[in-house]
Structure 1
Amino acid sequence: MLEQLLIGSSIICGTVVIHVLFMEALVYWLTKNGMWLTTPPRMIKRTLVLIAMVLWLVAGLTVSAWLWAGIYLLNGVFEQLETALYFSIVTFTTLGYGDVTVNEGWRILASLTAVNGLIIVGLNTAFLVEALSRINSAQGAK
């Protein structure tokens, strides 16, 4: 049990770092291109930027899912990459179909995967709301 808690906590920290880096890249891009966003056609630009931000953050979620899949493979929880990746995505998104499960010895780690997904998806949502709010404010000021 302690091993799973240590592994899970480490991976949670790793996914937070991953998402901070992805978000920092977006902040950098938005800051660099802020003036462009405030010129017409504003709605089209806002829509395109929102699509790009969502896809970028989904890329970060994908990296996180791959990290969890790698941990499952390294610890022998799953033997095949596809199964490990599928399980990590389904668990990370808290979808939980239940068609692929872990044995009793790894249930805590699987639960931490779901907790991690909730936190990261919430963090991404908060980021998108704040970024869109700031874009809207900047566009309204012009």
Structure 2
Amino acid sequence: MMEWQTILGHFAVQLALVALTVLIHAAAMILVLRHFVRSVPPEGVHVPFLRSVVFLFHIVCLILAAHLVEMVVWGLAFHLIGIFPSSFTAYYFAIETYTTLGYGDVLLPRDWRLTSGWLATTGLLMFGWSTAVFATIIDRLNESRIQRVVERLQA
């Protein structure tokens, strides 16, 4: 049975990792949105389809990079704390759990097991946040396209 000091210590580590993940993700999403605002042409300017697709691919890469950094932070913490002796195993577990893939072939030691729930929940929230930002960008890109279609139908 774990002592309260151990539980509170683990909770402090978990909370710190969640806070760091949110900080990284907030910074990344602000950068993504700033990039979008700077890259959007003035209203009424037609953007070719292929150029839009390349731009969206660029946005996806930025979002994926943010998630990768966040997974690496968790993996690095697992390795530095000594939860996993191998850095590969630490990163593998972090990626597998953050994405909620959850093969179950690698488990945290018994006294750290609650951490996997924190990691999976944090990953789910970060993916939801990314999806919201990406959907907003797509919506804004499509506004002018939809307006052009409406104008053509009314002409």
Q: Same fold (TM over 0.5)?
A: yes
Larger radius of gyration: 2
Give the residue type in structure 2 aligned to 1:39. H
Deviations 1:58-77 (A, max 9, x none): 10010001100111012110
AA paired with 1:117? G
Structure 1 consecutive aligned stretches of length 4 or more whose deviation exceeds 6 Å:
none
Displacement of 1:140 after TM fit?
Answer: 4.1
C-alpha deviations, 1:11-32, integer Å up to 9, x for none?
A: 1111111111111111111111
Of residues 28-37 and 66-75 in structure 1, the stretch that sits farther from structure 2 once superposed is 28-37
List runs of 5+ in structure 2 lacking aligned partners: 1-6, 149-155
Task: Tell me how far apart the structure 1 counterparts of residues 70 and 133 of structure 2 sit (CA, whole Å).
Answer: 17
Task: Point out where structure 1 has 5 or more consecutive residues left out of the alignment.
Answer: none
1:63-119: CA deviation from partner (whole Å, max 9, x where unpaired): 001100111012110011110000000000000001111111110112111111111
Deviations 1:14-54 (A, max 9, x none): 1111111111111111111111794331x212211211111
Compute the TM-score of the two structures, normalised by the length of structure 2: 0.84
TM-score by length of 1: 0.91
| Greater Cα offset, 88-97 or 128-137 | 128-137
Deviates more, 1:87-96 or 1:47-56: 47-56
Q: Answer yes or no: is 1:51 the counterpart of 2:67.
A: no
